[in-house]
Amino acid sequence: MESKIEWSRTRKSLFFKCPRAWYLRYGMRRKSSNRKAASFQRPWDLMLRAMKETLLDQLEDLKEGKEWSMLLTENQLKSSLENQLSESVHHISEHTKEALLKFARSRYRLLWRTRILQQLLKRRHAQWYVLDRSEPILHGIRKLYVSPDLAIRIQNRWHLVRFDMQKSPTKAHDEHEANAMVFWALNHEGFNAPSETYRLHTIGWSQGFWKCDTFQPTSQSIHLSQQLLEHDMKAMEEIVRCGRRNLALLPLAKNKRTCNSCFFRKFCPGGENLELAKKEQALLELSANSFKAGY
């Protein structure tokens, strides 16, 4: 039976860092439960999530004509951070909580100085929407989480905006990931337009400031992005099949740094010594292949 793969930038990032961790988190069959799962993300990542949550809440109110005071903003950010950290499986000291809140406040204030948010504050654009990135679009039986955070109509052109609270170093595939926002637009009535008419913006924190990258898609670049996305999902499906056959043979992390912050480290053969675990896994795979050849 074909796996119901779900694609998002977060899932893709983990998949290419460590297929085994991706499988344990997203690929295994689990019994459904109404209980809210505890978060095994690092406290730093939960801080970033709290910032994003606060940003979208503030934008929703701004859309309704309600502007936040500085005091309300800080209280909302603190409340969101506390809620995120309360779900963590990690022990987080009060000192760490205060440090995270300090980082969050500083970055958040600078975020609202960016050009696009300043334009919204000054009511420069009449037609704009805050979008729910937890709502997927369907690609066959697969779910794609590719929604932008904002859609802004400027001079008869849709500008699709995504906020990254922590931007990774610039990579060749950044444009293809941005193009995924176009897939969302083409699947929603009212946002349909020729590929060349969209403008795509990613605003992310990098090396001490908020950086905005802008992309202008073409029909060719959209087609290539779709092919790359399809390649990602097929690779994920193969890992799911491999994991169901033999969990011990799933590829391990590419870099030890991935292991250091991994929730599954204590249960992983590479948790303590990644290089040794890879050598042992290679021998195990060789033994498994020899056994198959014998039959």
DSSP for 24-90?
A: IIIIS-----SSPPPB-S-HHHHHHHHHHHHHHHHHHHHHTT-PPPHHHHHHHHHHHHHHHHHTBSS
- Evaluate if residue 1 carries a pLDDT over 50: no
- pLDDT the model gives residue 292: 57
- pLDDT the model gives residue 290: 62
- pLDDT the model gives residue 36: 46
% of the chain exceeding 90 in pLDDT: 67
- Evaluate if residue 81 carries a pLDDT over 90: yes
- pLDDT the model gives residue 252: 95
Domain-by-domain residue ranges, the chain? 40-112, 128-167+174-227
Comparing 110 with 135, the larger pLDDT belongs to 110
- pLDDT the model gives residue 70: 96
- pLDDT the model gives residue 34: 45
- Select, from the ranges 28-42, 195-209, 255-269, the one with the highest average predicted confidence (pLDDT): 195-209
- Evaluate if residue 92 carries a pLDDT over 80: yes
- pLDDT the model gives residue 3: 58
**Got the DSSP string for 230-276?**
HHHHHHHHHHHHHHHH-GGGS---SSHHHHHT-TTGGGSTTSS-HHH
- pLDDT the model gives residue 35: 45
Closest CA to 264 of 4, 1, 24, 8: 24
Closest CA to 205 of 108, 133, 82, 277: 108
Determine contact, residues 259/16, Cβ cutoff 8 Å: no
Determine contact, residues 189/168, Cβ cutoff 8 Å: no
Q: What is the pLDDT of residues 155-187, one digit of tens each?
A: 989 999 999 999 888 887 899 999 999 999 999
Beta strands in 118-241, from DSSP E residues, in sequence order: 128-130, 137-139, 142-144, 150-154, 157-164, 199-206, 209-215
pLDDT (average), residues 257-284: 87
- Select, from the ranges 22-26, 50-54, 248-252, the one with the highest average predicted confidence (pLDDT): 50-54
Give me the sign of the Cα torsion angle 100, 106, 112, 115: negative
Supply the DSSP symbol for 140: T
pTM: 0.88
pLDDT band at residue 189 using 50, 70 and 90 as cut-offs: confident
- pLDDT the model gives residue 231: 94
pLDDT (average), residues 134-163: 93
13-17, 31-35, 111-115, 208-212: least confident range: 31-35
Mean pLDDT of the chain: 89
- pLDDT the model gives residue 172: 78
Determine contact, residues 252/274, Cβ cutoff 8 Å: yes
Distances (CA, A) of 37 to 15, 86, 87: 21, 12, 8
Determine contact, residues 178/224, Cβ cutoff 8 Å: no
d(CA 124, CA 72) in angstroms, rounded, equals 24
- pLDDT the model gives residue 289: 66
Burial of 240 (0-12, 13-18, 19+ CB in 10 A): buried
pLDDT (average), residues 219-240: 94
